[in-house]
Amino acid sequence: MTRRSCAIYATGIVCAHLLIVGIALVVAQVFQTMIHSRLKKEITLTEKSQVFEGWKNPPPPVYMEYYFFNVTNPEEFLAGGKAAVQQIGPYTYREYRPRENITFLENGTKVYALNPKTFVFVPEKSAGNPEVDIVRTVNIPFVAVMNELNSYSFFLRTLVSMYMNSIGIELFMNRTVHEVLWGFKDPLLTKIHSMKPEVDEYFGLMWKKNGTHEGEFVFHTGEENYLDYGKIDTWNGLREMSWWSSNQSNMINGTDGAVFHPLINRNELLYIFAADLCRSIHLAYVKDVEVKGIQAFRFAPPSDVLMSPKDNPTNAGFCVPAGDCLGTGVLKVSVCREGAPIVVSFPHFYQADPKYINAVDGLNPNKEEHETYLDLQPTTGVPIRACKRAQLNVILKRVQGFPNSMFASFLSRQTATIDDESASQMRTLLLIVTLVSNFPLLIVGMGIILLLVLVVLFCRNRQKKVRPRGRRPGPELLNS
């Protein structure tokens, strides 16, 4: 056997082994299964986990932007006309939210933590000075008191309203942005406080929310089941709430929005418990996006989240009392806001019933500016970019002497994007995962290359063996 023949046979044997082994590994998905098992084991809320430190001290900077709706025609509105508002802002604050008092429970399968939030003003990202800029907005304490008087006689409501007007308390108030956000001593609440000391005499949309937490959380670490990674077990000792009118609406589902389980697919719904909304919401896949060179899935609340019970009966449980429902796109959260007539929606009533949008001049809802979304890296489940947008509205009832309406007060936008260092680490990790997962394809590719080499060698070898016939010698050559 010649060397050429030996080379052909050796190439054929190696080629066959590579193709058989590679195809077998691809079909069995051995390396993908190994990587997925590793991710399920490593991505947990345990002290040894690589993701624990990022959960404890989130690296991406979080910013809160506050916008206010400045009322430009209060006299016209009080006379029965349509209100006109002008959006002012943003007033931007850097939000710090470390986990504190971390305690592992039940053999490391659960973890207790507090999540205090601190806000620091960022002038360079703001449109003005919150301690100087004045905003004319709805006087929420005034509306709340009038709302409490609804069950009393018209005569009593009129007397109280006349008394408040005599001391300068009206439906609209002029205050600095800082006062409306972080609190001021309200004259009406001060009067009530003198009679009922349990009533706080200070009011602010973010009063007592700087440096405080939203409750005591116990999370699943994911040790028992990777799908439970980061999910809330209890909030303030509760596994379900009692505010709403159905068991389903009272459920505490999902995570707090900071982490999600690895290996996310496009077909699943992700659940988040939002303590400020007093409920859980779900997010559905929207599209693939790229953030700093990282492929991600965008999830956003679908339109059925705040849909009217007429169109989505599962939302009937958010009507309190039962049957007292609002239209599409709004959620009444008075039940968890000490009775204040507060309604939450997306900014500018995005995805809401047109009647709310048309009731006020100055609103322009659109997806680009007003959608809430979350961009997740699907392999690790890590949030790459997030934008949470919400609007606070006040219910004004005709029985209070004002036009019956839903009055937009202010909106907030919370944003976070992965920092450059974390993005670089994520890209490196995903590159390793991709290479290891595709290693069987590399083996198949090498087998195909050797197969081509084998074909070339075989063809050349046949050409060597098959030589052209020469001319038969003539008599003159034989006789010579």
pLDDT greater than 80 at residue 269 = yes
pLDDT greater than 80 at residue 456 = no
Q: What is the pLDDT of residues 193-230, one digit of tens each?
A: 988 899 899 999 999 999 999 999 999 999 999 999 99
Mean pLDDT score of the chain, rounded to an integer? Answer: 87
- What angle in degrees, to the nearest 10, is found between the helix axes of 187-195 and 140-148? 40
The mean per-residue pLDDT over the stretch 441-460 comes to 73
pLDDT greater than 60 at residue 461 = yes
CA-CA distance, 437 to 186, in Å (whole number)? 62
CA-CA distance, 224 to 406, in Å (whole number)? 46
Whether residue 230 contacts residue 255, with contact meaning beta carbons closer than 8 Å, is answered with yes
pLDDT greater than 60 at residue 401 = no
Maximum Cα–Cα distance across the chain = 148
CA-CA distance, 375 to 260, in Å (whole number)? 11
Q: What is the pLDDT of residues 38-47, one digit of tens each?
A: 777 777 877 6
List the structure tokens of 93: 């604050």
> For residue 50, what pLDDT is reported?
64
Write out the E strands in 177-319: 184-185, 202-203, 217-220, 232-235, 270-274, 279-291, 294-300
> For residue 290, what pLDDT is reported?
97
If residue 460 lies in a helix (H) or strand (E), which one and from where to where? helix 439-465
> For residue 244, what pLDDT is reported?
94
* DSSP structural state of residue 267: T
Q: What is the pLDDT of residues 409-427, one digit of tens each?
A: 999 999 999 999 989 999 9
Angle at 345 between CA 339 and CA 349, to 5 degrees: 135
> For residue 459, what pLDDT is reported?
75
The mean per-residue pLDDT over the stretch 110-119 comes to 95
Chain position carrying tokens 């409306």: 180
- Cα dihedral sign for 381, 383, 389, 392? positive
Indicate the range of 286-290, 334-338, 401-405 predicted with least confidence.
401-405
pLDDT greater than 70 at residue 136 = yes
Query: DSSP 3-state assignment of 235?
Result: strand
The alpha-carbon radius of gyration of the chain (Å, integer) is: 33
Q: What is the pLDDT of residues 329-349, one digit of tens each?
A: 999 998 887 767 899 999 999
Whether residue 225 contacts residue 208, with contact meaning beta carbons closer than 8 Å, is answered with no
Whether residue 176 contacts residue 131, with contact meaning beta carbons closer than 8 Å, is answered with yes
Q: How far is CA 266 from CA 283, 298, 379, in A?
A: 11, 9, 12
What percent of the chain shows pLDDT beyond 90?
Answer: 59
> For residue 28, what pLDDT is reported?
63
Phi, psi of 31 (to 5 degrees): -70, -35
- Of 155 and 336, the structure prediction assigns the larger pLDDT to 336
CA-CA distance, 143 to 393, in Å (whole number)? 12
Exposure b/e, 266-280, CB count within 10 A at least 16 = b: eebebbbbbbeebbb
CA-CA distance, 55 to 44, in Å (whole number)? 10
Q: How many other C-beta atoms lie within 10 A of the C-beta of residue 165?
A: 11
CA-CA distance, 266 to 289, in Å (whole number)? 13
CA-CA distance, 384 to 367, in Å (whole number)? 20
CA-CA distance, 111 to 105, in Å (whole number)? 6
> For residue 480, what pLDDT is reported?
46
Indicate the range of 172-186, 319-333, 394-408, 424-438 predicted with least confidence.
394-408
